[in-house]
């Protein structure tokens, strides 16, 4: 058995300290990000009608426009602007109030082409296409004051506007239904992007063949699944028409793609679908997003993870590094997809290069609190479940939480996830901002402040704080200053870094058996590894294409029923262990026909 404790040299250095001692490495600004994205998710008008309070982000589109990034999200009253994919500033539209849609923009389409950014909302009626040369200013003007109703289909709901740079042709793809297919139609650039001809039916879901397209938690519901969120990407002459399925309410919301030789196909189902899939861990769900390129030419796929604290459709935003392999298969890397990742500084060879190796140190660790209410105890903040949470006795400055990591660790980053508990907030006023302090200690008595947000004026419901200097600590303390809600509630405080011990052993005795009654399912078992925090089941269509990951925590059974396979498609599987100090080598690959 490998030593779970710190190496002797590391221990000696730590225990000579009476208080916290920062490590020597220095940071110049934030170098990492962590899903869900750290933006000021907006409250919206839907709350009043439902009588519940929630903030949400859904159906993201990130556009690279003139080397800067713009994020459009459902019903947010504007959009976000960033120069680095980590610091996002909210932009309110600078238009006459009577011209901005009364119902705001749901699942908007956005496109940068020819130096201009185009914006169009989901609709079953007639709506304008907006255009701007400077989206960072908020100024918009009508490109087409009233796009007609679409011929040959209902909608367009969940639209995507696509410009084919090679042919200078314009298209729209759309659809959101558990009955109808995705559609496509050509647009006329000489006539304000009005429609040319009728809509083309492109493809439908086939849950009877594709296991991942089944609805419900872990694909266990018989409800007819939903197809939505069309997005077109052209790569090396191929057209990748992406879609979200089977529904946003559960952990298995994902993105798939069909591939064609032309903008209307014919399209072929990608054998490695879903291309972006994250059913396990803290952030679950990766569906209904878009694909964009950063300034280094790297691809990213966005999605809308399931949150569902106060409302089934309460969601957040995530982005995952994405690539195309030598066979033209598109895939997003969701392995450790809710752990810290480096921001890219160049073109990557493999998207996995961005993983920092900073491990989760806080899972199921004991927590003490200044106060709590009812069943909303402090233990909830280390369970890696955003739908459970701690509620403090008051929302006054000075309320606190202290996590005991159990042994000295090198702490690199902390993510604080707040919850709307009976908040009654229906606005985004000047009082809606987040202030807190983070402290670190070796002995629980002598404390060093490692993060100070007392001057923060942003709302940060999912605040990710990369420490300016790595800190050696056993205890991490959250000190409350301000949130706008009447109740202070925190779902999870996630601590990342390294425990300084050895990486874990690889799991042994991996066994995979395809379900004899339904080959869309497979039963996976393995032997537990001592001192593991969790496991990643790695799977894909070939031994060298293990693009999918299903994360399982070690305090669960060493077994998984995977219900995401395609009929008549063979698969390969491996498994790796992770703990607080690193990741094992993957196990030997197991192949099933």
Q: Where are the domains of the chain?
A: 8-29+359-498, 39-354, 511-592
Query: What is the reported pLDDT for 98?
Result: 75
Confidence of residue 2 (pLDDT cuts 50, 70, 90): very low
Integer Cα distance of 334 and 301 in angstroms:
10
Integer Cα distance of 462 and 205 in angstroms:
33
Query: What is the reported pLDDT for 422?
Result: 87
pLDDT at position 10 over 60:
no
- CA–chain centroid gap for 48, Å, is 27
Confidence of residue 6 (pLDDT cuts 50, 70, 90): very low
| 344-395 per-position pLDDT tens digit | 999 999 999 999 999 999 999 999 999 999 999 999 999 999 999 999 999 9
Buried b (16+ CB within 10 A) or exposed e, 545-554: bbbbbbbbbb
The tokens of 366 are what?
A: 């004991």
The tokens of 446 are what?
A: 């002598």
Confidence of residue 126 (pLDDT cuts 50, 70, 90): very high
* Mean pLDDT in residue range 453-481: 97
What fold is seen in the domain 39-354?
Answer: Tachylectin-2; Chain A (2.115.10)
Residue 321, judged by CB atoms within 10 A of its CB (0-12, 13-18, 19+), counts as buried
Sheet holding 267-269, edge to edge: 228-235, 238-245, 254-260, 267-269
Question: Is 412 within 8 Å of 466 (Cβ atoms)?
Answer: yes
Question: Is 491 within 8 Å of 388 (Cβ atoms)?
Answer: yes
* Mean pLDDT in residue range 169-173: 98
pLDDT at position 430 over 90:
no
Write down the mean pLDDT value for the chain. 93
Confidence of residue 7 (pLDDT cuts 50, 70, 90): very low
Residue 296, phi-psi category: left (phi > 0), alpha (psi -120 to 50), beta (remainder): alpha
Contacts of 566 (CB under 8 A, 6+ apart): 209, 210, 211, 269, 271, 273, 520
Query: What is the reported pLDDT for 424?
Result: 78
Query: What is the reported pLDDT for 41?
Result: 95
Q: Tell me, letter by letter, the H, E, C secondary structure of 332-385.
A: ECCCCCCCCEECCCCCCCCHHHHECCCEECCCCCCEEECCCECCECHHHHHCCC
Query: What is the reported pLDDT for 590?
Result: 98
Integer Cα distance of 303 and 339 in angstroms:
16
Residue 165, judged by CB atoms within 10 A of its CB (0-12, 13-18, 19+), counts as exposed
Contacts of 96 (CB under 8 A, 6+ apart): none
Place of tokens 């063949």: 209
Integer Cα distance of 228 and 206 in angstroms:
14
Integer Cα distance of 78 and 280 in angstroms:
31
The tokens of 462 are what?
A: 């999912």
CA distances from 434 to 376, 460, 461, 480 (A): 21, 6, 7, 9
Query: What is the reported pLDDT for 4?
Result: 32
- CA–chain centroid gap for 251, Å, is 12
CA distances from 110 to 84, 147, 196, 590 (A): 19, 15, 20, 42
- CA–chain centroid gap for 394, Å, is 31
Query: What is the reported pLDDT for 559?
Result: 98
* Residue 433 φ then ψ, to 5°: -150, 165
pLDDT at position 13 over 60:
no
Least confident of 87-91, 312-316, 472-476: 312-316
Integer Cα distance of 65 and 67 in angstroms:
5
| DSSP conformation letters of 232-243 | EEEETTEEEEEE
Confidence of residue 24 (pLDDT cuts 50, 70, 90): very low
Query: What is the reported pLDDT for 56?
Result: 81
3-state DSSP assignment of residue 15: helix
* Mean pLDDT in residue range 496-510: 97
Question: Is 350 within 8 Å of 323 (Cβ atoms)?
Answer: yes
In the chain, the N- to C-terminal Cα span, in Å, equals 35
Residue whose C-alpha is closest to residue 548's, from 529, 522, 582, 530: 522
Question: Is 76 within 8 Å of 37 (Cβ atoms)?
Answer: no
Q: Check for a shared fold between 39-354 and 511-592.
A: no
Integer Cα distance of 229 and 206 in angstroms:
16
What fold is seen in the domain 8-29+359-498?
Answer: Jelly Rolls (2.60.120)
Query: What is the reported pLDDT for 423?
Result: 82
The better pLDDT of the pair 524, 13 is held by: 524
pLDDT at position 102 over 50:
yes
pLDDT at position 3 over 50:
no
* Mean pLDDT in residue range 115-129: 96
* Mean pLDDT in residue range 427-452: 94
Contacts of 9 (CB under 8 A, 6+ apart): none
What fold is seen in the domain 511-592?
Answer: Immunoglobulin-like (2.60.40)
pLDDT at position 15 over 60:
no
Confidence of residue 48 (pLDDT cuts 50, 70, 90): confident
DSSP state of 219: G
| 238-279 per-position pLDDT tens digit | 999 999 999 999 999 999 999 999 999 999 999 999 999 999
Integer Cα distance of 226 and 178 in angstroms:
4
Question: Is 286 within 8 Å of 334 (Cβ atoms)?
Answer: yes
């Amino acid at each position: 058995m490998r030593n779970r404790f710190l190496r002797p040299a590391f221990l000696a250095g730590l225990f000579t300290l009476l208080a916290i001692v920062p490590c020597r490495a220095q940071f110049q600004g934030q170098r990492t990000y962590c899903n869900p994205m750290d933006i000021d998710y907006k409250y919206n008008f839907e709350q009043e009608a439902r009588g519940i309070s929630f903030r949400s982000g859904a159906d993201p589109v990130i556009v690279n426009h003139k080397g800067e990034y713009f994020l459009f999200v459902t019903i947010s009253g504007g959009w976000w602007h960033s120069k680095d994919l980590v610091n996002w500033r909210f932009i309110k539209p600078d238009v006459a109030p009577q011209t901005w849609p009364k119902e705001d923009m749901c699942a908007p389409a956005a496109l940068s082409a020819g130096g201009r950014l185009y914006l169009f909302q989901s609709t079953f009626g007639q709506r304008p296409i907006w255009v701007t040369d400077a989206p960072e200013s908020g100024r918009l003007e009508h490109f087409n004051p009233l796009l007609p109703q679409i011929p040959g289909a209902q909608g367009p709901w969940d639209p995507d506007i696509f410009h084919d740079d090679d042919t200078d042709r314009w298209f729209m793809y759309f659809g959101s239904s558990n009955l109808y297919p995705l559609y496509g139609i050509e647009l006329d650039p000489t006539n304000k992007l009005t429609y040319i001809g009728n809509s083309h039916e492109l493809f439908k879901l086939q849950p009877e063949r594709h296991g991942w397209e089944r609805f419900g938690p872990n694909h266990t519901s018989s409800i007819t699944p939903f197809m939505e969120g069309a997005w077109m990407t052209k790569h090396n002459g191929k057209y990748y028409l992406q879609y979200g399925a089977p529904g946003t309410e559960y952990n298995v919301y994902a993105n798939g793609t069909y591939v064609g030789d032309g903008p209307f196909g014919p399209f072929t189902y990608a054998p490695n679908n879903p291309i972006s899939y994250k059913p396990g861990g803290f952030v679950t769900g990766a569906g209904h997003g878009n694909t964009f390129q950063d300034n280094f030419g790297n691809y990213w796929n966005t999605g809308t993870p399931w949150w569902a604290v106060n409302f089934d459709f309460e969601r957040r935003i995530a982005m995952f590094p994405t690539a195309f392999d030598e066979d033209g298969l598109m895939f997003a890397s969701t392995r450790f997809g809710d752990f810290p990742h480096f921001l890219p500084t160049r073109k990557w060879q493999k998207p996995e290069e961005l993983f920092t190796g900073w491990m989760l140190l806080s899972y199921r660790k004991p927590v003490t609190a200044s106060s709590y209410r009812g069943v909303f105890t402090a233990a909830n903040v280390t369970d890696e479940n955003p739908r459970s949470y701690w509620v403090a006795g008051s929302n006054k400055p000075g309320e606190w939480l202290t996590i005991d990591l159990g042994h000295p660790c090198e702490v690199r980053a902390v993510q604080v996830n707040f919850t709307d508990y009976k908040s009654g907030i229906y606005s985004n006023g000047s009082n809606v901002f987040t202030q807190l302090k983070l402290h670190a200690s070796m002995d629980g008595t002598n404390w060093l402040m490692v993060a100070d947000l007392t001057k923060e004026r942003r709302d940060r419901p999912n605040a990710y704080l990369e420490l300016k200097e790595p800190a050696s600590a056993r205890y991490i303390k959250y000190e409350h200053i301000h949130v706008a809600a009447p109740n202070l509630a925190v779902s999870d405080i996630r601590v990342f870094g390294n425990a300084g011990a050895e990486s874990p052993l690889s799991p042994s005795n991996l066994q995979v058996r395809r379900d004899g009654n339904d080959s869309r399912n497979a039963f996976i078992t393995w032997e537990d590894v001592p001192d593991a925090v969790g496991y990643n089941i790695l799977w894909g269509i070939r031994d060298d294409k293990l693009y999918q990951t299903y994360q399982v925590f070690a305090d669960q059974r060493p077994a998984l029923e995977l219900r995401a396979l395609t009929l008549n498609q063979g698969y390969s599987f491996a498994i790796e262990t992770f703990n607080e100090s690193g990741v094992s080598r993957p196990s030997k690959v197991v192949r099933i026909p």
